Amino acid sequence: MTRPSHFSEPPKKSLGQHFLCDRGIIDRIVLAVNPKPGDRLVEIGPGQGAITFPLLDRHHELTVIEFDRDLIFPLTEAARAHGTLEVIHRDVLKVDFSAIAGGEGQIRLVGNLPYNLSSPILFHALEHAAAIRDMVFMLQKEVVDRMAAGPGSKIYGRLSVMLQAYCRVTPLFDVPPGAFRPPPKVDSAVVRMVPLPADAIGVRDRATFARVVRDAFGQRRKTLRNALSQVCDGAAIEAAGVRPDARAEQLEVADFVRLANSLEITGLADDPDDMP
């Protein structure tokens, strides 16, 4: 896929830009999104429009969030031949997704996320989970593997538990470096995330849950009794139906939820890095 004539700026290394250019991969992403009439689509980081324009051809209306000022004008101009494009020029971490959805509505998120900001963007999106129907994102494959990992896996950790507690995570397909310009040094993957209904989440206090998960995985080789010593003692862990001599990677997501719900921890400050 050649670069649209409107775009003259090369990818910016400072922004972690790697522009998707493989038409086959682009078509698979659009098929995964599969927009329907009435959907409110919002793309994060449209770049030079590799996913933007095929989505516009299919859906005719799209909102994009782009931080790079140099891409705003060429995106707007090129989009005229494809459909109606609304451009929000802002840092995505400062965008209120709930406000975009408005009232009782929900948005659908899609995007090739900058890999250096992927986790903060995921958690920011989950802060607005009630306003989001689903998310189809391209990320570093290693991150997607961690997001979807289960107990007992070496890559099962804090990210796995924090995301799976609030949404269903489904890896879709891998993307090789050659699908981008310039090619990144890592493999990528596309993942679908569907926020769970509020009554299916089960977490009573999000700050307590985040603290328990963070401390439990802070020193993976330690047992929960030792890793959580600043939060609770072994008796409290056992009272929640969890073995104090177990290690964090042995627990199911539901075990973390049950343990956190059994505790009352005061004075916790919300951490933007782990507070979906």
Q: Which residues are annotated as a binding site for S-adenosyl-L-methionine?
A: 18, 20, 45, 66, 91, 112
Give the residue among 195, 63, 64, 215 at the shortest CA–CA distance from 127: 195
CB-based contact 206:161 (threshold 8 Å):
no
User: Residues forming the annotated binding site?
Assistant: 18, 20, 45, 66, 91, 112
Beta strands 107-112 and 41-44 are parallel
CA distance 155 to 142: 9
CB-based contact 247:220 (threshold 8 Å):
yes
Distance from chain centroid for Cα 243: 31
Query: Residues 66-73: contacts with CB within 8 Å, 24+ apart?
Result: 67/15, 67/91, 67/92, 68/12, 68/15, 68/17, 70/9, 71/7, 71/9, 71/46, 71/47
Amino acid at 107: I
